Structures are given as structure tokens and as C-alpha cells.
A and B are shown apart, each in its own frame.
Chain A
Amino acid sequence: MSINLKTIKHISKLSRISVDEQKAEKLAGDLNAIFKFIEKLNELNTDKVEPLTSVAETTLKFRSDEVKNQNIRDQIIKNSPEDNEDFFVVPKVVE
């Protein structure tokens, strides 16, 4: 299997990472080398193997869903790259 530029463009769209032609070619080369290395897994027959989803053989614990007001609204807003003091600001999405 080989990853071509079309596939790279598709993955880049899904990943929300813009790539230009030069970067796409470099990525295609890198990803092909990595996937060649990954293909080794095809040597194994895993038809009867259960997938491992967690190493800890316990069930997840539930905790009550409590509201805790820590009064950190201003600090959280301050971390945003653009805000109007009350809201996060993003480029216009509706006309």
C-alpha cells in the first residue's frame, strides 16, 4: 500500500492541518516509511483475538455530576487568543 498526495490532502482535511505541496510530499514520504514498518502486523493472524481496550481490568467508576463554582471565569477567558471579555471570539460563521 502506498499513500499518495491525494490521500495526504484527505487526511490533512480530516486533521484540520493545512499542508502545501512541498509539505504534502515530505509527509507522503514519511508516512509511507512508517506504514511500511507498521505492515509487519499483517504477519499475525488475529481472527480469534479479542481487542485490548484497557490494560486495567476494572470497570470505570462513576462519580456524581456536581456543579463546582471555582470563580475562574476571568482566568479562563484570559487564556483565549481573542475575546471581548465575556465571550471567546472566532471569525464570523454566519452572514
Chain B
Amino acid sequence: MSDITSQSLTSLVKNIKEKKLSSEDVTKAFVKRSEKSKELNSYISEDFSNAINKAKKFDEKPNLDLKLPGIPMAVKDLFCTKNIRTTAGSKILENFVPTYESTVTQNIWNEGAILLGKLNCDEFAMGSSNETSFYGNVQNPIDKGLVPGGSSGGSAAAVSGQLTPITIGTDTGGSIRQPASFTGTVGLKPTYGSCSRYGIVAFASSLDQAGPMAQNVQDCALLQEVISSYDNKDSTSIDFKRNQYSKDLTKDIKGKKIGIPKEYRVEGMPKEIEELWQKGITYAKDCGAEIVDISLPHTSYALPTYYIVAPAEASSNLARYDGVKYGFRAKGENLIDMYEKTRSEGFGAEVQRRIMIGTYVLSSGYYDAYYLKAQKVRKLIKNDFDEAYKKVDAILTPSTPSSAFKIGEKKDDPVSMYLNDIFTVPVNLAGLPAISIPAGHDAAGYPLGLQIIGKAFKEQEILNLAYAMEDKINFKNKISDWWIK
């Protein structure tokens, strides 16, 4: 069975199409391994027996023309799934059962995939270590006591630990790429407007994007092809010509110009990250790419901008959790008292902190000084990228300023936790696509990732670059199955 769960998505699809494996074989293998992996705490809700029944049903009349024929898949618990509890990692949605399906997950089921369960994440996707989840920490399969990153921590751990062949996460400031980097997996944040936000529990609407998290670039391209679609249920969905990302994938990147932004060489960055970056530059050259030095002068302003824009939008989006129509309710003496106690008991500390920051920067007398200022700096950050893309096709940076850290290490210091996203946040502010690929290990043997940032709507371009570089890097994840007794 274990040889099934170690296969890539692409290989599982091929084996099912060639009738060498049935959907039931594959689904049972992932269910069995997931059941033995409780210690990782990757799942918030399991749907295993339904999954096996659906697999049997698929096998009775298999449609092998689909892109994900009978493939089992667990998804981040931020995607609404019809009739299946969706918590967003929060106590306030502990008993919430959506009456509708998110467009992105619907696209996945339409191509024949089968839901395994809902994966753990930071509460409302606010966090970089999965420690803000009401449903507990997630363990990184790389080593016991290590965070998997966040907010898509359960998703990253599930792919890395082979509890699901592939998954989807969401990325508002790095929530796909940082956990991918921490777990030795591939994560793509698509261009803003590429994947519908309909049915995704909202955090910061001008930044949120769904994207694939996979074992390799080819699998990632295949899932991107499935989830990216124009959707009139999301008014910010963009109608552009989408590639057949997996079919159009090529390692021929000869002559592509790759920019190296000097501002990403930040103070206090560990030597091994700098060395990884240099190694990445060498790999890109070996693949025939041309390296160009560029400048993104406003990089250091991205995090402060993000910590105004994202909480401002969150404070507005999370106003709906009032204990009336759904979710948790605390007892109160009157209506206002009920609201205040519900939100105080229903939200965790980090979510409350961000709602308060957001409320403050939007409040009368402070709007211009904070929110308007941040929107202006956001423009400057986007201008930096527009200027750079006159000279280059893509940009190469490290994904994170460090490898995965220990559970509890940064929990009580919000600013040091926020610094995790220093290389990923500018991409969300500018609405660009970016991919993190595993590229090496640090001294402790923990994975490190490289980030390739593309022009808007040029997912194919960065997937191709990642595909070519992946071949040269030849990364092998060091997973000992320590959690399986």
C-alpha cells in the first residue's frame, strides 16, 4: 500500500487511467495512512467512509477522460464544502455546515476527485505556523515538534506526509508558499483573479487567492489547470486565456531573463539561505536562463503595508460573525453584550488582534494616516514590479528568511512571526503569481525553498522555470515517518 501513497498525482492518474489501480485501491491507501497519522493533526474533519464509498461508485462506471479520475483529495478547511462542516480553524465556525460549495472545490470534484477530509489551518488563515488554529498545532512531517508553517499548515503537512496526493491552500501573504517551503513541497499562489474566491472563507479580499500544493511541479500544474477558471460568482474573477498548464509544461527556458532583486538580501538572513539563493542562480543559468540584477526599492515597506491592508479588510470581513445566523454564540444580557461576548470567546487571540488593528486603522481620524497611506505605498510596491518586468521575465528569491522553527518558538512575539512572510507578502500586494519549490536543506536537514515570481497571468512561465530548475535541483524530501507507530 505504501507504494501507492508515495506516488505522484501524475503517476496515480496514469495508473488509474491504465486500469492498473482502481480509485478504491488509491483511496483506501490514503485513508489507511491518514488514520495512522493522527499525531500530525493534519485533519480537522475526516470524511473517510464516504470517500471509500464514492471511490467504489467511481470504479463501477469510471470516467477515465477526467483530469483527476477517482483521485482522493483532502482540502484546506477554508473552502466551503456543501453539507460538510467548514470551520476555517475557528471556534466561531465549529458547527457551521455550508449550504454551498466553493467554485474551486467544485472544479476539482467535476474532474473526478473525491473528498478525503478538511485540513487544519491557522484560524481564518491568520498565522504563519498553524499555531493559531482552534483545533491544535499541526506537526511537520519533517521532524517532531516543528511547525509546518502557515496558514495552510495542515495542507502542507498532508502533502509532505503523503496523507493526500495533492491539495489546495489559500495564500493571502504567503500561506501557500511558506508552508510549502517548510515541508519540502511545491506551492503555487496564482495571479489575483485566476482562481475564484467564491465559497472561500474571506480573510483579506484584495489579497486572497487559492492555489495548489503538491509533491512536484507537474502535479502542481495539473491542479492549477483544474482550479483556475473564470467565475461570475466572484466579481474580481478575471476572464483571461488560461493555459493547459500541465500539457503546456516545458523545461525549455533558454534565454529567459530572471531578475535577482538586491533588496531581498535582508539583514540577519542565515548564510544557508544566501547560499541556497546562489545555488538557485547557478541552476537557472545551467538551464539556459539569463540572470539580470534588478531593484525593487520599496521591498522593506511591504510588510508594514500588509499589516495595515490585511487587518483592515479582515476587520470588515469578520464583522459577519455575530452569533446570530450561524456559528458560536455566547450568552449575553442584551444584544450588544451577546455580540461582544460571542466575538471575545469565539475568536482566538491572533484574530482578535488583527480585527482590532484593522478597526483602528479604519477608524475616524486614523484612516488617512494608516489605510490611505498603505494603499499609496502598495501602489509604489506594484510600480516596482512593473518597472522590473520591463527588463525580466521572472524574479528569483528565497521563499522564506529561515527554515521551519519549533512549535512555541515565536508564538508570543507577533512581529517576529510576521517577519516570516517578508519575501512572500510583496507578491500578494502586487497581485502576481509566484511558486515555491524545494531547493535544498539547512544544517539540521530541514527543507528550504526558492520562490519564482512571475508577471500577472504568466503562471505557465513560472511553472516552466520551476519545472526546469526542479530537474537540476533533484531535491529529495527526508521523511522518516516518525509519527507512524
Contact = CB atoms under 8 A, between A and B. Distances in A.
A18 interface: yes
Q: Which of A10, A50, A61 has most B Cβ within 10 Å?
A: A61
A53 B372 CA distance: 10
> Could you say which interface size class chain B belongs to?
35 or more
Interface in B323-376: 323-329, 332-341, 343-344, 347, 352-353, 355-357, 359-360, 363, 370, 372-376
B377 A41 contact: yes
Interface in A24-60: 27, 30-31, 33-34, 37-44, 46, 49-56, 58, 60
Contacts of A56: 192-193, 236, 238, 431
A55 B232 contact: no
Contact of B304 (A33, A40, A72): A40
Given A46-B373, A90-B335, A91-B334, A55 B192 contact: yes
Given A14-B359, A37-B307, A55 B377 contact: no
Interface stretch (B113-121, B264-272, B378-386): B378-386
Interface string A49-93: 111111110101101000000101001101111100000101111
A11 B327 CA distance: 23
Interface of B: 95-97, 99, 192-193, 206, 232, 235-236, 238, 298, 300-301, 303-305, 307-308, 315, 319, 322-329, 332-341, 343-344, 347, 352-353, 355-357, 359-360, 363, 370, 372-380, 382, 414-415, 418, 429-431, 456
Given A34-B307, A72-B99, A80-B325, 12 more contacts: A16-B339, A17-B343, A31-B357, A37-B415, A38-B308, A41-B373, A44-B301, A44-B380, A51-B379, A61-B232, A61-B235, A70-B99
25 contacts: A15-B359, A18-B343, A31-B357, A33-B414, A34-B353, A40-B300, A40-B304, A41-B304, A44-B377, A46-B380, A51-B372, A51-B378, A51-B379, A52-B382, A55-B429, A55-B456, A75-B99, A79-B327, A80-B325, A81-B323, A81-B327, A90-B335, A91-B334, A93-B334, A93-B335
Interface of A: 3, 7-8, 10-12, 14-19, 27, 30-31, 33-34, 37-44, 46, 49-56, 58, 60-61, 63, 70, 72, 75-76, 78-82, 88, 90-93
